[in-house]
Chain A
């Protein structure tokens, strides 16, 4: 592929390439990369070519086309799209074909985007390495011995490998930003409620958010423009006008913009020195663009991960109860009836035991415990209180700074198998990212440099609620004076 979404739009407008040719190349690239990267759980070759042909025909007829006409987009397999399975990379849903489109998918279709397939992920979006997928691990295109991050690992790897210019990920505790960082691409978690969750198979409802993943902030803005907006079918959707994100890219002068640096975040244990250095170097770049640097603190940030790992599993334990084998989802067959439990409960137990993988089961157990009578006050309700404190921290920080700058993940991409047997180590991958989800604010991960081994390292910008335009603008400004985002892995 090796083109951005905006280049593809231009080339089609100039008549240099057709949507069908683009789709054919994307599908060929995906099929070529699948054996090594395994970024996709489903390739929608036929429907993609049909959609592309329709775009070409309408262009030939002189019709006005949508803003993503003929641009291939990959969709994380946690989002519902008719005609394609929505598996959440789980054995539980391996055969589930939803009868409806998620709102974001509807919007992609309305924008004339070409949906080329569904991307691999950690099972039910639980993980930081895409190793918990029922369909096998996804490999990082920069180094196939390493993880692409997770849970939107497939979505990130597909963009990094150049099979598609755009993909949709979801971010519950960092699941867009951390894989974007590991794969050297740009990914944004929007404000909670900015993008509809209708048709997003819920992991943790109060934290989940759909967001764009692309090479550059400019392409993220293009995709964001399509998916953002109020949705009456999602009660948590924000009824606020969508700004012109593309226009926000016009100014690359950051004069007057105050960037808060989380100094003590740079001193935490476990932060890779090369990651630290990349953040420090990026400060200089922003200063060069005219920004003012201020030091800020988030006093309760050390409680972010524990708070997140109470709230997210609690909601997940509830959201995942619908997968019981009775209505949909894997059903144990035959059921060995345990006389103690009776036929029905035996069926539930065996269906869920067989359908879910280890990490999902672990989180269901944690969540069930945290919500159970006698423990809810100690865990769940206490976590809600800490969540409010963390929100308060951000409010204070944003009184002093327009944006916050810091690391995305403590390390560059780690090796496959490195943390999969150590859940606590895996959970610490979310150290710098969970805050934005707990506070509901937008945050972006963009390439900030490379380590000595040539692995990409991302930096993170966070902004107040609904200030995606400023995030995209600052990230774009950074990308006008750096070239980290243009580097591609050797194929």
Chain B
């Protein structure tokens, strides 16, 4: 049966973990991956008598994010308690923000996937701060039904960014998420490491079906807690089909209430969670343990002044200033502001295309493998610049430079020291000339080809030259050969 035309209505709630050293209301570390329950104290465990104290750094980061999202930062914000029982929520309530969020409104602009070259503006409702809960681990081993709780994550600061239902397709949702993620990384607000759960997405979705000019809205479903873009796209695609079918079969519309679903990554389906959770009454009220937070206008302006250029501005600038390709610029900018600085430093000491290629291949691969941020990367931008400068000057081959780079990853040495440690010697020009002349003498065909206009023919000499002297750079060999032949 053919379907009636419909519009997909999508709104996203994105939880971004703020990049603070300590938790939202205590001094415990937010480090990921420590043994269970080792980063806890009476406050984040919710022990009787313990009291929360706000982390000012989280407020500053939230303001930073809000300004970049074009939100209003109200002068007064406050903390509220959201009450529900769950084993990984030790206090029986989550400290969050209800009616006075730290960021009000705002928008994100995306390239319209359906209409390349034009821009779509996704409006934001708000962004508020809240503490994260712990993690339940269910042991399904045979004969046991143990549940264990790791509270390390309890009290980690989250910024929940809530969009209006402004997106119309999975592509738009992904474009929005990509933009948001890039912005948060760029600003240093969050790492957005999705596999570590520092960016999590809830999708609100329903369909507006056009039935003979009448708009029928299907039941809204909230698909909770996804931590990959693939899941988000999958859940949207699945829900579009499911909701249409459900409406055909049951006739239910949005008036029948909103539902909460989960996403099964293996089966690639959404599934209904317990019905009881839908009508939850969180009994929000102002947390009496925490005073309302005044955010001085001067502080907001200070933070605004520190924002610097946006990723979009950086992308355009790198292309025009350094002449690199749009794609390369996108990759560098997507790694955050520190990577842009890294690139510019390397490019300044060598050349931009080489810098871009090395960063995308060698630096990003190593930093991913070793789980290092660019700030903690062992080969500084200055060193890499110096190294690539030598390649540009023809003092080193690309391959030899790669050996030096690998050596520098594990040794705290200067570029010169590293070259020495690896026994790489720069080749004396006259020595090389003698060598090349010998080879030319032995290969008259090559000389003839070059004289016939085929300069590429000298390429055949490179391998032979390097066999005799491994330090000879290909560039030097071809340059000398051409000079000797053409006089």
Contacts and interface: CB of A to CB of B under 8 A. Distances in A.
A98 B290 contact: no
A80 B49 CA distance: 7
A344 B87 contact: yes
Interface string A338-377: 0000001100100000000000000000001001110010
Interface string A109-138: 000000000000000000000000000000
Given A205-B288, A327-B45, A371-B283, A198 B51 contact: yes
A199 interface: yes
Contacts of A235: 51-54, 289-291
A86 B42 CA distance: 14
A321 B289 contact: no
A98 B43 CA distance: 12
Nearest to B27: A233
B49 A201 contact: yes
A234 B46 CA distance: 14
B48 interface: yes
A79 interface: yes
Interface residues of B, number: 28
Contacts of A99: 42, 47
B87 A232 contact: no
Contacts of A327: 45-46, 90, 149
Given A318-B93, A321-B83, A86 B49 contact: yes
Contacts of A233: 51, 53
Nearest to B134: A327
Given A197-B51, A324-B85, A318 B283 contact: yes
A202 interface: yes
Contacts of A322: 46, 48, 90-92
Nearest to B287: A205
B228 to A, nearest CB: 28
Nearest to B147: A344
B394 to A, nearest CB: 61
Given A197-B51, A322-B91, A100 B85 contact: no
Nearest to B91: A322
Contacts of B91: 321-322
Given A318-B81, A324-B85, A205 B49 contact: no
A198 B50 contact: yes
B285 interface: yes
A98 B48 contact: yes
A322 B149 CA distance: 15
B281 interface: yes
Contacts of A80: 48-49
A206 B288 contact: yes
Given A206-B288, A371-B283, A372-B281, A321 B93 contact: yes
A236 to B, nearest CB: 6
A380 B285 contact: yes
A80 B47 CA distance: 10
Contacts of B50: 100, 198-199
Contact of B281 (A96, A318, A345, A373): A373
B171 to A, nearest CB: 37
A315 B81 CA distance: 10
Interface in B29-79: 42, 45-54
B291 A321 contact: no
Contacts, number: 99
A98 B47 contact: yes
A376 B47 contact: no
B49 A199 contact: yes
Interface string A312-347: 001101101111101110000000000000001100
B144 to A, nearest CB: 14
A232 to B, nearest CB: 7
A328 B92 CA distance: 12
A93 B48 contact: yes
Interface string B337-374: 00000000000000000000000000000000000000
A249 to B, nearest CB: 32
A301 to B, nearest CB: 23
B348 to A, nearest CB: 46
A457 interface: no
B288 A102 contact: no
Given A98-B48, A318-B93, A327-B46, A205 B87 contact: no
Contact of A368 (B46, B47, B149, B283): B283
Contacts of B289: 202, 205, 235-236
Contacts of A317: 283
A200 interface: yes
A86 B47 CA distance: 11
Contacts of B284: 371
Contact of A326 (B49, B53, B87, B93): B87
B49 A79 contact: yes
A132 to B, nearest CB: 18
Contacts of B149: 326-327
Nearest to A345: B85
Contacts of B288: 204-206, 236, 315
Interface in B227-274: none
Contacts of B90: 322, 326-327
B91 to A, nearest CB: 5
B276 to A, nearest CB: 9
A236 B85 CA distance: 26
A264 B285 CA distance: 35
Contacts of B54: 235
Of A199, A318, A376, most buried by chain B (CB within 10 Å of CB) is: A318
A159 to B, nearest CB: 23
A86 B46 contact: no
Contacts of A86: 48-49
A198 B45 contact: no
Contacts of B281: 372-373
A136 B398 CA distance: 84
Nearest to A198: B51
Interface in A184-222: 197-202, 204-206
A205 B79 CA distance: 14
B195 to A, nearest CB: 28
Interface string A218-234: 00000000000000111
B40 to A, nearest CB: 11
Interface of A: 79-80, 86, 88, 93, 96, 98-100, 102, 197-202, 204-206, 232-236, 314-315, 317-318, 320-324, 326-328, 344-345, 348, 368, 371-373, 376, 380
Given A324-B92, A371-B83, A371-B284, 16 more contacts: A79-B49, A98-B48, A102-B49, A199-B50, A234-B51, A235-B53, A314-B285, A318-B81, A321-B83, A321-B85, A323-B92, A324-B85, A326-B90, A328-B47, A345-B85, A372-B281
5 pairs of A and B residues whose beta carbons are closest in the complex: A321-B92, A206-B288, A205-B288, A371-B283, A201-B48
26 contacts: A86-B48, A86-B49, A88-B48, A93-B48, A98-B47, A99-B42, A99-B47, A201-B48, A202-B48, A204-B288, A234-B53, A235-B291, A236-B290, A236-B291, A315-B288, A317-B283, A318-B93, A318-B285, A324-B85, A326-B149, A328-B48, A344-B87, A348-B85, A371-B83, A373-B283, A380-B285
